[in-house]
Amino acid sequence: MHDFILPVTSGEENKATLLELGAVEPLTKLLTHEDKIVRRNATMIFGILASNNDVKKLLRELDVMNSIIAQLAPEEEVVIHEFASLCLANMSAEYTGKVQIFEHGGLEPLIRLLASPDPDVKKNSIECIYNLVQDFQCRATLQDLNAVPPILDLLKSEYPIIQLLALKTLGVITNDKEARAMLRDNQGVDHLIKILETKELNDLHIEALSVIANCLEDMDTLVLIQQTGGLKKLLSFAENSTIPDIQKNAAKAITKAAYDPENRKLFHEQEVEKCLVALLGSENDGTKIAASQAISVMCENSGSKEFFNNQGIPQLIQSLRSDSEEVREAAALALANLTTCNTANANAAAEADGIDPLINILSSKRDGAISNAATVLANMAMQEPLRVSIQNHDVMHALISPLHSANTIVQSKAALMVAATACDVEARTELRNSGGLEPLVELLRSKNAEVRRHASWAVMVCANDELMAVELCRLGALDILEEVNLSVSRKNKFSEAAYNKLLNNYLSLKYSLTGYLSSSNIISDGFYDYGQINPGTKLLPLKDLCLQEPSDLRAVLLVNSKSDVSPPPSMEDKSSDIGYGRSISSSSSLRRASKEKTKTNSFHFSTGFGSPTEDKSEPTSGRNTALSKSTTKEKGSRKGRGKKEEEKVKEEEEVATAPKLAGEGSPDKEWYPPSDPDFCVYVYEVTKSIFPITNIKEQIEALAKYVAEKMGGKVSKEKLHDFSWELHISELKFQLKSNVIPIGLIKKGIFYHRALLFKALADKIGIGCSLVRGEYGRAWNEVKLMNESRKGLIGALPPPEVYIVDLMFHPGALMKLRSKEADLYRYL
């Protein structure tokens, strides 16, 4: 009978045939037959049939697990044990089979059979147990059944397959702390070390290392291995082995254990770093990866981090040039951890020529490699010499792809790198020209908190100059940050700082939005006051405003002490044509005012800042040099004409020959804002006459009187409605053919004209004052002064008092903030 069964059931076709003939169900009833021989043969049949998937499925449906497990009883024959355990081993290969075996109490008899004298029984039982312990619940029960000692005994077996299955089982169950303790208490570590020391058992070394890797996570076990000399043996074995998988598993074992700080300390004492550096030199990619990962964990220990500064970093840089993406990623991770908060390691990475391969990795296909490389570069960029080297490698262009990534970690690291490298104008300009600002601004919308934080940080760094701040605002950065900062859950310190930085470096927008400039907001050339705008409204650039036709809209006030139109203007006639891209002329009234000023102050201006030097032989002029020369040539022919006729001819010539804005008729030329020779004179005069005054209060009073004089003088409250400043502004808009009026051309100015001029001039000579916009055309300046009566007193001084400067009714008068007279000045 026995000889008949084996040939019938041994082939897959025969198994399928028996299934089709319906033989399986009748055979299940024979498992409980009274006759031992029948029962034995039925068990043998199922042991062989259960390797067929369809048979296994049917057996699960027929619920025969109790009958099969019953064949494992001690009183049954060895052959029944063999085939019953074989059947269970086949059934346990699938999840449902595992559940049925466990629920029917199959684990305990299987553990008992590990001590069977028959090697087949042992092999089948340990194989079934190995399959079962993949489930956590089975592992917990296994510990209760004290299964570790019999499994360890299998390591002494003369059959490699049994030893291998025993090691694999230990590798699974020692993931649990309780099992590691049982292994340690039963001298299991000694067994494992002996296997590693035995060259003849090299086919078991990999699995033995896996078990040891788990044991090293347990501090008590690690100390035991170290005390018995096992740790040195392990490291020496890993370093000297010629089998890549063994080296790889050894490095993995170190990695798992090194996550514990105490373990890292112990590893450092055993000089594990030398072993890892040696493994970096392996030709096997898997070993390099494992060694790099171990280094990335070990460098959490400060001693290890210092060691790798001298050894390890050059090898890791070499790994960055590997053809394997995985190797490059692992090496970059190790370098990221090594260079974090460690300038010496960052320098070592740069000295090993690491910048170029790191930047190349930014175009990798692996997100992990990109984020790790960006982290290393950001760490290096914290030092200015290294930052310059990184910038010289076209890093801004390399960052464009990471900034467009869909991976939030890559986005975060790329934005962080922008924050670390865009610290100077050249780098920011390169980023803008490479198209990096658009994706950076989009990252401000991210739902990921770290991405938003790093993007805000990068925007804050990029907004350090006005040109970039204007461009970022044009791209919507300010609107996005405003929205983010309204959300308690989305805002962060960097988003608030970035918002303020954008406004503080784009003062034209800040003043239009908030109506306030503090004393630290220094007005520079190119500032313009468009008037109040609502949040979310776009502020047009100055160039667009200059090229618009005049309208009924409020005049845009421009502050500009530069003479950027080429060729540079002279001061022969200060109120002559301002370049707006069209021919313009000045009114006779403006010309007369200019001539009067010329009689008392004649200056010649250089280009750029426009600081004048005294030149009494030449009248001032806003014309370019060529125009001035032609005018001089014709002076002789004008001597016999009357004054009015001469002025008329002069105006006509100006209309015909007025200089055009750079770029008109030649779009390739650079555009410059309109120049303002009168304001240049103002700057020179206050610098010469008011700046030397040592008393700050006297400085303020003198400047206030000066501003009032230039803006139409003192105006009494009763005659304020007769002060025809609107007509004057309309005439200027018509003459300039633009809504943009340089502040120096305004000779009749109301509150907001005077306040702006006061602030602009005060900033030029270092007088601290704020500019505040009120309602109905009101604006005023606030200054802080110490109480004179408190000066010289010992002890803490009270805070300075805030005053409003009167520029209209009593120019130079200072009114305490919130006083009745100050309120009248601001509101009535």
Residue 753 DSSP SS3: helix
CB 213 within 8 A of CB 256: yes
Token output for 376: 């290393």
Q: Identify the band that residue 638 occupies on the pLDDT scale cut at 50, 70 and 90.
A: very low
Nearest to 357 by CA among 332, 386, 324, 389: 332
* Tally of domains in the chain: 3
Name the percent of the chain lying above pLDDT 70.
81
| Residue 344 pLDDT greater than 90, yes or no | yes
Residue 271 lies in a domain: yes
Q: Are residues 699 and 746 in the same domain?
A: yes
Q: Identify the band that residue 24 occupies on the pLDDT scale cut at 50, 70 and 90.
A: low
Nearest to 528 by CA among 502, 506, 550: 506
- Residues facing 773 on adjacent strands: 779
| Residue 612 pLDDT greater than 70, yes or no | no
Name residue 656's amino acid.
A
- Quick one: pLDDT at residue 569? 41
For 69-83, 332-346, 390-404, 653-667, which range has the lowest pLDDT when averaged over its residues?
653-667
Q: Greater confidence, 566 or 384? A: 384
pLDDT tens-place string over residues 67-93 = 888 888 888 889 888 888 888 888 888
The whole-angstrom separation of Cα 330 and Cα 249 is 16
CATH number, domain containing residue 242: 1.25.10.10
Q: How, if at all, do strands 556-559 and 740-742 pair?
A: parallel
Nearest to 384 by CA among 396, 372, 392: 392
List of residues 6+ apart from 719 with CB closer than 8 A: none
List of residues 6+ apart from 407 with CB closer than 8 A: 367, 370, 371
Secondary structure percentages of the chain, helix, strand, coil, to 5? 60, 5, 30
**DSSP code, position 780:** E
pLDDT tens-place string over residues 186-214 = 888 888 888 887 878 888 888 888 888 88
Q: Are residues 424 and 284 in the same domain?
A: no
Residue 720 lies in a domain: yes
Mind spelling out the 3-state secondary structure of 246-307?
Answer: HHHHHHHHHHHHHCCHHHHHHHHHCCHHHHHHHHHCCCCHHHHHHHHHHHHHHCCCHHHHHH
Q: Are residues 371 and 247 in the same domain?
A: yes
- Quick one: pLDDT at residue 519? 95
Residue 535 lies in a domain: no
Q: Identify the band that residue 570 occupies on the pLDDT scale cut at 50, 70 and 90.
A: very low
Average pLDDT of the residues in 470-491: 94
Q: Identify the band that residue 318 occupies on the pLDDT scale cut at 50, 70 and 90.
A: very high
| Residue 219 pLDDT greater than 50, yes or no | yes
- Quick one: pLDDT at residue 241? 78
The whole-angstrom separation of Cα 328 and Cα 320 is 5
List of residues 6+ apart from 544 with CB closer than 8 A: none
Q: Are residues 382 and 427 in the same domain?
A: no
pLDDT tens-place string over residues 34-54 = 777 887 787 788 777 777 777
- Quick one: pLDDT at residue 774? 92
Token output for 531: 């008037």
| Residue 608 pLDDT greater than 60, yes or no | no
List of residues 6+ apart from 203 with CB closer than 8 A: 160, 164
Q: Are residues 445 and 365 in the same domain?
A: no
Helices (H), 663-819: 677-689, 696-710, 725-736, 751-765
Average model confidence (pLDDT) for the chain?
Answer: 82
Task: Report the first-to-last Cα separation within the chain, whole angstroms.
Answer: 120
Q: Are residues 333 and 241 in the same domain?
A: yes
Residue 124 lies in a domain: no
Name residue 650's amino acid.
K
Q: Greater confidence, 511 or 624? A: 511
Q: Are residues 368 and 251 in the same domain?
A: yes
Residue 464 lies in a domain: yes
The whole-angstrom separation of Cα 390 and Cα 349 is 12
Name the domain boundary from 458, 474, 505: 505
| Residue 229 pLDDT greater than 80, yes or no | no
Name the domain boundary from 452, 486, 505: 505
Residue 605 DSSP SS3: strand
Rg (CA), the chain: 44
Token output for 113: 């059979």
Average pLDDT of the residues in 231-244: 79
| Residue 562 pLDDT greater than 70, yes or no | yes
The whole-angstrom separation of Cα 381 and Cα 347 is 10
Cα 353-355-357 angle, rounded to 5 deg: 85
Range of the domain at 442: 419-505
For 6-15, 313-322, 531-540, which range has the lowest pLDDT when averaged over its residues?
6-15
Residue 353 lies in a domain: yes
Token output for 255: 């990695």
Name the domain boundary from 483, 505, 527: 505
Residue 255 lies in a domain: yes
pLDDT tens-place string over residues 735-776 = 999 999 999 999 999 999 999 999 999 999 999 999 999 988
Q: Are residues 450 and 351 in the same domain?
A: no
Q: Greater confidence, 715 or 575? A: 715
Q: Are residues 241 and 384 in the same domain?
A: yes
- Quick one: pLDDT at residue 356? 96
Q: Are residues 682 and 748 in the same domain?
A: yes
Q: Are residues 385 and 427 in the same domain?
A: no
Residue 778 lies in a domain: yes
pLDDT tens-place string over residues 774-796 = 988 899 999 999 876 655 555 56
Q: Are residues 302 and 256 in the same domain?
A: yes
